[in-house]
Amino acid sequence: MKAFGAEHGVAVCTSANAQALFRWALKQKGHILFFPDEHLGTNSALALGIPRSKIVVWNPTEPEASARAARDATVVVWKGYCHVHTFFTVEQVADARRKYPGIQVVVHPECPAEVVAAADSSGSTSFIIRTVESAPPGASFAIGTEIHMVARLAKEHPDKLIVPLARGLCGAMYTINPYNLSYTLDRLLVDDPVNVVTVPPEIARWANLALQRMLEVN
């Protein structure tokens, strides 16, 4: 998908620089198709002041209806999501505030827009880490992102109260563990690599172009 997009003038982004890439893309043609995450796209557009009425969802199972809705849109977001971040709810934000009066609620921008609106702030993984690191001792946070990162922050900052907004676990990320890493390195030592991913050169060339565009914008 990166390669296909690069052939048509697009760039990739992360949750940390999505807004910067939105500004760049809007200068190119005045409208955006953003994929794969509906919520990161929606929240990035809203943060830039784009009206909700100008943000529409492209549902691949309803292409004709989506096309009609997209005609007057500034931003079209693909109907995709991160299952960890769509797990968080407005009710969980309210529960955290009741349980921990004065707590700061910080969520990832791949959460639904109503959850982002209910939180005190939202931002990428690096933003969340910086927010906790820069807070004074005694600060308290309920964080809406993958549970292992929240647990790590709590361990690294024992002078602060850091709790998960809810227990959102990413099974795919959890496969990157010491056991699997050790096994992979052991196989490299005997020149028998496992789970090797290869990318055809032409796809790699175009995909790298999409990445290069992102770096240039940043």
Pick from 67-76, 170-179, 194-203: least confident: 170-179
- State the angle between helix axes of 38-47 and 18-29 in degrees (0 to 180), rounded to the nearest 10: 80
| For residue 171, pLDDT beyond 90 | no
Handedness of CA 115, 118, 119, 121 (dihedral sign): positive
pTM over 0.85: yes
Q: What is the pLDDT of residue 33?
A: 95
Q: What is the pLDDT of residues 19-30, one digit of tens each?
A: 999 999 999 888
| CATH 3.40.50.10800 domain locations along the chain | 85-172
Q: Which amino acid, 17?
A: N
The DSSP 8-state label assigned to residue 9 in this structure reads T
Higher pLDDT, 174 or 92: 92
| Alpha-carbon span 88 to 30, nearest angstrom | 32
Phi/psi region, residue 102 (left: phi>0; alpha: psi -120 to 50; beta: rest), is left
- DSSP bridge pairs for 13: none
The pLDDT assigned to 174 comes to 83
pLDDT for the residue numbered 173:
85
- Segment 103-114, tens digit of pLDDT: 999 999 999 999
Name every residue whose Cβ is closer than 8 Å to that of residue 192 and which is 6 or more positions away in sequence. Answer: none
Q: What is the pLDDT of residue 192?
A: 97
What is the fold, at CATH topology level, of the domain defined by 85-172? Rossmann fold (3.40.50)
- What is the per-residue pLDDT for 128? 98
Instruction: Express each pLDDT in 132-159 by its tens digit.
Output: 999 999 999 999 999 999 999 999 999 9
Token pair 């005694």 in the structure block, residue: 138
Q: What is the pLDDT of residue 29?
A: 87
Q: Is the pLDDT of residue 188 over 90?
A: yes
Residues 30 and 2: their CA atoms lie apart, in Å, by: 21
pLDDT confidence of residue 124: 96
* Residue 58 pLDDT > 90: yes
What is the chain's mean pLDDT, rounded? 96
Q: Which residue, 49, 54, 41, is CA-closest to 15?
A: 41
Asked whether residue 175 carries a pLDDT value surpassing 90, the answer given is: no
Q: Are 31 and 75 in contact (CB under 8 A)?
A: yes
Q: Are strands 121-122 and 104-107 parallel, antiparallel or unpaired?
A: parallel
Distances from the Cα of 164 to the Cαs of 77, 140, 179, 211, in angstroms?
28, 11, 26, 32
| Residue type at position 146 | E
